[in-house]
Amino acid sequence: MAEIISVTADITAVTKHLNLTQRSVGIATQRAILKTGHKGSAAIRAEMSRVFKSPTRFTLNSFKVVKSRKEIAATIELKGVQGIPTDRHDYLDPQIHGGPRRTTPFEYKMRAIGALPADRFIVPGAACPLDAYGNIPRGMVQQVLSYFGAASYKGVGFDANTTDKSRKKIEKKLGKRLFGFAGVRGQLLIYRGGADRVARSRAGKDGSAVQFTSRLPHPGIWIRAELFGGDAIRPLFMFVKQPRYKARLDFYGVARRTVEQEFPGEFKAAIQIELDRIANK
């Protein structure tokens, strides 16, 4: 996905009228296109700040201007490494065109260990703390992945799986594996729904713990904490159908309006630079 900024001009006529070489006009045109492209990128950034609620710096810096190697043109396009799905900014694509949300790195890894069904996606549950931007904190995602041994993933660039030694030390001290982040603490459980049942406990009449199994209201990752001799389970993440979005970011409209408004002035200034350069030789 990219917005092309190109100009079709009668370079011969401009060359003859201004007494410039075709090469000089080409240089001026490319300079004007690149300057216009950067203004277009800045305008898209401003539009994101307007239509998105508290966008992160990562989101605001999602676009780059790329100079064409084959013609006098440039493109405004999403950053990212092609072929590495977890390193791309194309999560913005549904915000531009509408449609289904893309798979996140978190979801790729949870599917890789068989925890998340292939047709399900992850959204925050009632027990999930959110950062200042309304997003799932990256640190918590990494700790959840580490908890389930899913932090290693080819192409992602980190391996934070809890070691067997440290895990056994925690389990020996606490009697069970516990997860803790931003005040959320307990044992994580993956519940897939259907025939799945979860081991639970409650306080008996004599104060002893009574063990039983039950179903949960929704598939997802739940966190269980001890409570008054029994336990309490709250939803950390829910497994849902693929979310779909309506287009909100007028990427193409903003880019085209910027070209129409800014290119003539940038081209005039670039031509003047070439005229001055030649005059000062």
Domain boundaries, the chain: 2-79+244-279, 102-240
Q: What is the pLDDT of residue 80?
A: 67
pLDDT digits (tens, 9 = 90+) for 1-59: 555 555 555 555 566 666 677 788 888 889 999 999 999 999 999 999 999 988 888 88
**Sheet-wide strand order for 220-227:** 121-124, 230-240, 220-227, 184-191, 179-181
Instruction: Evaluate whether 41 touches 26 at the Cβ level (below 8 Å).
Output: no
**In order along the chain (281 residues), what is the average pLDDT of each group of 10 residues?**
53 62 85 93 95 89 88 83 51 88 88 89 92 85 86 48 47 56 82 83 75 87 80 90 92 92 92 84 72
Contact 179, 185 (CB under 8 A): yes
pLDDT of residue 83: 46
DSSP letter at 193 equals: -
pLDDT for 72 equals 83
Whether 167 contacts 177, CB under 8 Å = yes
pLDDT at position 158: 36
What pLDDT is recorded for position 78? 82
pTM of model > 0.85? no
pLDDT of residue 257: 94
The tokens describing 116, both together, are 């998340």
